[in-house]
Structure 1
Amino acid sequence: MKTVFSVIILTTLLLSVSTIQAQKKIQGEFKVDYVPMSNYIRPIDSLKTDSKSDFKKVEMAIEIPLSMKMDHRDKPRIWSIIGYGGYAKMQHKDYEENLLPEELLNAYVGVKHFRSISDSWSLLLMGTVGVYTDMTDINKDAILGQGGVFFIKHFNPNLSLGAGPVLTNSFGVPMVLPGIYLDWETRGDFYVKVTFPKGAEAGYKFTEAFTLSAAIDLQGMTAIVKQDNQSKLLGLQQIVAGVRPVIKFSDNMVLSFTAGSTLVRSFSYNERKLKNIFKEKKEADPRFSTTFYAGASLKWSL
């Protein structure tokens, strides 16, 4: 089932600039992540080795509305262009062989459409094409297309649940896999927010300009790489948790910081074959020891 995690990563990237709110403004987010050196844990015997790797990442997401109008239900109908770029740099020390690339790039552009189909149901359509590479051999294999059709049920203003097919060619041929979308947030000074497949947080709103929360985020990158003369899908995934102060300068600019630790940081290589999608592995994925995590995000709108 490890390959399915790579699909979740792709879905997370697909939804990274997604919103189901009516917005006439250009929206963007600039984000940086930092994980210092931590020990490589060998999968065959779970031995913590002297080999170490770090992780530094910068990413930018943007959504540009093309049109937005209200339909006969007084609900928004939106067409927009979405774009994403993420670049990671890693240093590796004291390895006997190269296990991970030193660089990863994920970048795509696409289109999104959101509309209501009833008083309580909406339709979200997205399609993207981009480059997912380790920067050593950028060719046509590194170009991946993906898209999703999500039918979203709005139970109330605070809860939306959606599901639908996700199309991807990450396994060499176009195929359809199930996707899930969840957006739940309570109201009030104390709040809980869950956005799947991105993360969750619980916090307290001290003032209109300052919020403090505890957060868990699902993060990852993927790339098409050459290994043993084969084209393989590399999935690098991490789950981080920490304390997150959020400063709201205005309705158009919000700055947040996160300081905590990596709960999970692992990677996997999978052959780009259909038979490997739900194939159980005989051993755990290679991973790294838990260590410090720091991140910062600036969200803005124009």
Structure 2
Amino acid sequence: MKITFKILLTPLLVILPGLSYGQGYISSDYMPASTLKDDAGNKYGSGDLLILSGRYTLPFSVRHNEKGQVTAWSATLNCSYGILNNKGPAKELNPDNILNSSLNISHIRPLSDRWSIIASLGAGVYASPNEITMKSVLANGAVVFVYKLRNNLDLGIGGGLTNSYGIPMILPMVYFSWRNTGKYEFKVDMSSGIKISAATWLNKKFKVELTAIEMDGMSAVMNIDGKSKIYSTASMKSYISPSFYISKKTSIYLGIGGNWIRSAKISDRSFKGFIENFKEDDGSCNFGTSLRFTAGFRCGF
């Protein structure tokens, strides 16, 4: 399955973590210019990308039972703004700016000693700022059943709702979260995308994290020749990130690493367009490898 297709499911995936306590971040990511090529190696100009993003989760109600299990209701606000500076044919193939914003109401509750359920429903705007219409509003939701195999290992399966392809579709979702804490921390997470990382505390204030792989991306509903289509760009990156903790849940951080894949694709908003994402030759293009710089602020309570 192409990386571009996975990122179209981002509105389904970002709703899952951190439902039981307030937390948020603001960040900026910059990828310098690289060449845009298709699978045959043909060049279509070049471009760089700046992403400004933020997220905050606000719990409405949090309760713990006698076994320490959580029942919670929360709202999550996401907002990302992408500035694409492209040259040559790449300027015609990619929008100049992308706005992704969404609001979700989420719920988590235990079903038994090991089983729990996570559910969410919401909607957002995915468009170029000057092309926002009712077609730019994408609904998203999910129901995931999670099994606690060990204290540090959760597995889950469920379904997610999206209308990215015009018609409402229910797609399968997988949840996997493994973490090891202490002076040295290791994490494999498939609850809000894919992230594999390791970290260590240098002292009580400084933490250094090495991320082997992480995926993110953006999408936008576009009107091309009178037809509603969806543009998607997806990135796969690795980086090292030092953090300075102002308090236990508040920190500032920097990051530098490599952006290995940055794809660009325009698909029809139809079931046929959805199926074409499974094909090897799906018409997508990729920007070349580049550096990636990150700076941000996290907070929680």
Is the TM-score greater than 0.5? yes
Q: Confirm or deny that 1:170 pairs with 2:169.
A: no
CA distance in 1, matches of 2:240, 2:289: 16
Shift of 1:46: 0.8
Aligned to 1:257: 254
Q: Deviations over 1:73-107 (max 9, x none)?
A: 43111001111111011111233860100000000
Aligned to 2:107: 113
CA distance in 1, matches of 2:6, 2:25: 21
Aligned to 2:33: 37
Match of 1:199 among 182, 195, 199: 195
**1:21/1:64 Cα in 2 relative to 1: closer, same or farther (>3 Å)?**
closer
Q: Confirm or deny that 1:245 pairs with 2:242.
A: yes
CA distance in 2, matches of 1:78, 1:44: 46
Q: Confirm or deny that 1:234 pairs with 2:228.
A: no
Equivalent pair of 1:27/1:301 in contact (CA under 8 Å): yes
Aligned to 1:9: 7
Equivalent pair of 1:204/1:211 in contact (CA under 8 Å): yes
CA distance in 1, matches of 2:185, 2:124: 36
Structure 2 length-normalised TM: 0.91
Partner amino acid for 1:28?
G
Equivalent pair of 2:102/2:125 in contact (CA under 8 Å): yes
Q: Runs of 5+ in structure 2 lacking a partner?
A: none
Match of 1:211 among 207, 211, 227: 207
Shift of 1:134: 1.6
Shift of 1:20: 4.9
Partner amino acid for 2:262?
R
- C-alpha root-mean-square deviation of aligned residues, in Å? 2.0
Question: Does the residue aligned with 1:188 lie in a helix, a strand or coil?
Answer: coil
Q: Confirm or deny that 1:180 pairs with 2:174.
A: yes
Aligned to 1:300: 299
Question: Does the residue aligned with 2:89 lie in a helix, a strand or coil?
Answer: coil
Equivalent pair of 1:6/1:222 in contact (CA under 8 Å): no
Shift of 1:283: 5.3
**1:284/1:186 Cα in 2 relative to 1: closer, same or farther (>3 Å)?**
farther
**1:10/1:124 Cα in 2 relative to 1: closer, same or farther (>3 Å)?**
farther
Count how many residue pairs are aligned between Structure 1 and Structure 2: 296
Aligned to 1:270: 267
Q: Deviations over 1:185-244 (max 9, x none)?
A: 112322221111241212222223222222122010011111232111111101111111
Q: Runs of 5+ in structure 1 lacking a partner?
A: none
Aligned to 1:287: 286
Equivalent pair of 1:224/1:234 in contact (CA under 8 Å): yes
**1:66/1:14 Cα in 2 relative to 1: closer, same or farther (>3 Å)?**
same
Q: Deviations over 1:39-92 (max 9, x none)?
A: 111x1521345x211100111101111111123543111001111111011111
CA distance in 2, matches of 1:298, 1:289: 28
Q: Identify the range of structure 1 (211-220 vs 76-85) with the bigger mean alpha-carbon deviation.
A: 211-220
CA distance in 1, matches of 2:90, 2:247: 51
CA distance in 2, matches of 1:96, 1:184: 39
CA distance in 2, matches of 1:252, 1:173: 41
Partner amino acid for 1:100?
N
**1:6/1:117 Cα in 2 relative to 1: closer, same or farther (>3 Å)?**
farther
Equivalent pair of 2:231/2:266 in contact (CA under 8 Å): yes
Partner amino acid for 1:201?
S
Q: Identify the range of structure 1 (180-189 vs 97-106) with the bigger mean alpha-carbon deviation.
A: 180-189
Aligned to 1:47: 42
Aligned to 1:99: 93
